[in-house]
Structure 1
Amino acid sequence: MIARLLSAAVTVVLAAALFVLAWPQLFGLEWSTPVAQAVSFRAIAVAGSAVMLIALLALAIFSVGARRFTGSIAIVFVIFGAISLAVLASRGSGSEDFATKRDSAVTVVAWNTLRDAPGADAIAAIALEEDADILTLSETSGEMGNAVAAIMAAAGRPMTVFAATVNEAEVDASTVLLVSSDLGAYSLRTDLGNTSVAASLVATPDDGSGPTIVGVHTMAPIPSGVDNWTSDLTWLADLCSGNTIMAGDFNATVDHMSRLASADGASLGECADAAMATDNAAVGTWPTQIPALLGTPIDHVLATDDWRVTGMRVIRSSENLGSDHRAIVAQLAPR
């Protein structure tokens, strides 16, 4: 009798924990440790469920007395795996369809370069290949940004370079934003605040006719830094209004950002996620050491309703160039 009660208690506790992990927003726990960290890796959780099912099957084969318990636990893992797979499927496992780029469209490339690791030639090559109008580079020094801009200018793509850091001694804290001269003159805004541990940048058009552009790098949601992480996301959500494009390393998935969405179809503030709009939101951008479909999608291109997403993809060719992040590219057309 006691054994059955313990088995039932374990099953109920496990089911509750997995339900929270499958849908943390229902309980308001998507920002709470350890849920915030665990929900970042939905695909790995599905893989883990499959491994557990195999282990439970083996236990049931070799232990007749444990079959009732293993059967109930197996059902819990099957339900959790099915829910998680449904969420991943709804977000998309990758689409590389792009509309033909029109003159008014803008191409945005974002890449966390892990302290300049790929080098200027590799970074510029991707930006030129994708015909980038906006390039946001997290964990990138101002010197590297200037070197990339020089290569692009020599190739006929002059860019204005903006750089910011919150710690001159650490490249991790530096972010670079390159804006094509074709978009007009832009100036850096330093009066709007910033992210906490790594710098972000806000650039606005001098004539007021173009989008506000935000290069992003938030704090990672490590247990000791959750407060900084959530304040960074809240600051970005407040910025994401009007005519705005923001891109970079958000250190957050759409699960984490959903609390701060202020409109239907938005992901953060009034901005929608390009990956969600193009069936790419389950493709991981970090870390490159594991397959993209097992990774976590924490790098994003977001835009307000002034822009329609006409293409987006994770750049798989960037994963062997030294950074632990994959680059992403999105094409946006004005509505």
Structure 2
Amino acid sequence: MPTAARRRLPLLVTLLVAGLLAALVVWPQLIGAERWQGMALLISFRAPVAIGCAALAVVAGIVALLRRRAAVALGLAIALGAAALGNGAVLLARGFGGSTADGDLTVAVWNTYGGGAPPEAIARLVRESGADVVSLPETDADAAAEVVGILERDGIRMTAATVDAAPGDRPVPTSLLVADALGPYVLDPAAGSTPGAPSGVWRPVDGTGPTLIAAHPLPPLPFIIDDWAQGIDWVAAQCAEPDVILAGDLNSTLDHLSGLGRGGAAVGECRDAAQQAGAAARGTWPTSMPAALAAPIDHVLVGSAWIVRGFEVPTDFDDAGSDHRPVVAVLSRR
């Protein structure tokens, strides 16, 4: 092999191997890796990954400049830089915005961290957002009833419902608050639930109004990742009709939900409210990280009967006791 070719070989090999890994970090959906153990957690935090790749690219670039024949360092700098730019481009495309608007229905989600956020804070969220429907993962029946009582004293009438964990599952209930103006709702036990943590499907008693779903799949952690995958598949299965609104802590970003949509929708036949509003990169968990760096795992999904008018991730509840930020979506009927 000629000398020049031998010198280029380490660079070419590094670019090939590191480039493939960079592509995987930017878009694991290429090979279905978004649901792999490890990758599922990594891809939840695109912004920190982008920053980390950029920092490592700078270090590798400096090494390449200071050392002779530093082909490997140069190849790593190029691949890491590409990974940083790729992740940044995905985040910018999804958007860090958020807006408020008038609409027909306001839906809020807040995982209260097993009661970490007190009923008074939940009531404040309802008052300030004007929410008609509130999905409350990790909120028990007593706390939900207390919220209803606080709101009633303020002239806001809502009804609470709660689904408890099945025997052997995580002991974290999921509650739903529905404005009395929407009429009575009843839990549909035939719809089932997400494995390991409770979710529920509520339908209007008189058949008029949207189907409401409060969802909370397990997180993609070791030993329960199959339950997590089945949970997000259950979520997609619920999005099978136009007049449906699903809200909850899905423990998934748009990356994990990729491939579950039909007909141009994000999940099943539902669209993601944050994505529609250009705010799908704003993170909701954990509150210890800025919204620009956190994982956007709390969602409002809507069927084709609904238009997204606005979406926001309030940060003024970060000290309320939960490790999640709430999300608020404003919807209108088509």
TM-score, normalized by length of structure 1? 0.93
User: Is structure 2 residue 72 aligned with structure 1 residue 73?
Assistant: no
Partner of 1:173: 172
Kindly state the Cα deviation for residue 57 of structure 1 after the two structures are TM-superposed: 3.2
User: Is structure 2 residue 25 aligned with structure 1 residue 25?
Assistant: no
User: Is structure 2 residue 43 aligned with structure 1 residue 43?
Assistant: no
Q: Give deviations 1:234-280, integer Å, cap 9, x for gaps.
A: 1111111221001010000111112211121x111111000001111
User: Is structure 2 residue 35 aligned with structure 1 residue 56?
Assistant: no
- Of 82, 85, 100 in structure 1, the residue corresponding to residue 85 of structure 2 is 82
Residue type of the alignment partner of 1:258? S
Instruction: Give yes or no for contact 1:108–1:331 (8 Å, CA) kept in 2.
Output: yes
Aligned residues: 329
State the secondary structure of the residue aligned to 2:263: coil
User: Is structure 2 residue 196 aligned with structure 1 residue 197?
Assistant: yes
Instruction: Give yes or no for contact 2:22–2:82 (8 Å, CA) kept in 1.
Output: no
Partner of 1:146: 145
Q: Which range moved further: 159-168 or 117-126?
A: 159-168
State the secondary structure of the residue aligned to 1:315: coil
CA distance in 1, matches of 2:289, 2:199: 27
User: Is structure 2 residue 117 aligned with structure 1 residue 124?
Assistant: no
Structure 2 gaps of 5+ residues are none
Change over 3 Å in CA distance of 1:148–1:56 after alignment to 2: same
Q: Give deviations 1:32-76, integer Å, cap 9, x for gaps.
A: 12222211111111100121022123323443342x322221111
CA distance in 1, matches of 2:167, 2:31: 40
Kindly state the Cα deviation for residue 95 of structure 1 after the two structures are TM-superposed: 2.1
CA distance in 1, matches of 2:219, 2:213: 18
Partner of 2:102: 100
Change over 3 Å in CA distance of 1:34–1:6 after alignment to 2: farther
Residue type of the alignment partner of 1:254? L
State the secondary structure of the residue aligned to 2:190: coil
Instruction: Give yes or no for contact 1:139–1:171 (8 Å, CA) kept in 2.
Output: no
Kindly state the Cα deviation for residue 11 of structure 1 after the two structures are TM-superposed: 3.7
User: Is structure 2 residue 140 aligned with structure 1 residue 137?
Assistant: no
Kindly state the Cα deviation for residue 7 of structure 1 after the two structures are TM-superposed: 5.6
Instruction: Give yes or no for contact 2:217–2:232 (8 Å, CA) kept in 1.
Output: yes
Q: Give deviations 1:263-321, integer Å, cap 9, x for gaps.
A: 21x11111100000111100010111111111110000010010000110001111121
Q: Which range moved further: 44-53 or 274-283?
A: 44-53
Partner of 2:226: 227
Change over 3 Å in CA distance of 1:170–1:140 after alignment to 2: farther
Structure 1 gaps of 5+ residues are none
Residue type of the alignment partner of 1:47? I
Kindly state the Cα deviation for residue 143 of structure 1 after the two structures are TM-superposed: 0.7
Residue type of the alignment partner of 2:101? A
**Superposed counterparts of 1:208-247, under 5 Å:** 208-242=207-241, 243-247=243-247
Partner of 1:254: 254
Q: Which segments of structure 1 move beyond 4 Å, counting only runs of 4 or more?
A: 1-8, 167-172
Instruction: Give yes or no for contact 2:50–2:88 (8 Å, CA) kept in 1.
Output: yes
Partner of 1:14: 18
State the secondary structure of the residue aligned to 2:292: helix
Higher helix share: 1
Instruction: Give yes or no for contact 1:299–1:328 (8 Å, CA) kept in 2.
Output: yes
Residue type of the alignment partner of 1:256? H
State the secondary structure of the residue aligned to 1:247: strand
Change over 3 Å in CA distance of 1:200–1:284 after alignment to 2: same
Kindly state the Cα deviation for residue 81 of structure 1 after the two structures are TM-superposed: 1.6
Instruction: Give yes or no for contact 1:173–1:197 (8 Å, CA) kept in 2.
Output: no
Residue type of the alignment partner of 1:78? G
Identity %: 36
Instruction: Give yes or no for contact 1:167–1:174 (8 Å, CA) kept in 2.
Output: no
Change over 3 Å in CA distance of 1:124–1:275 after alignment to 2: same
Instruction: Give yes or no for contact 1:115–1:171 (8 Å, CA) kept in 2.
Output: no
CA distance in 1, matches of 2:237, 2:292: 31
Change over 3 Å in CA distance of 1:172–1:323 after alignment to 2: farther
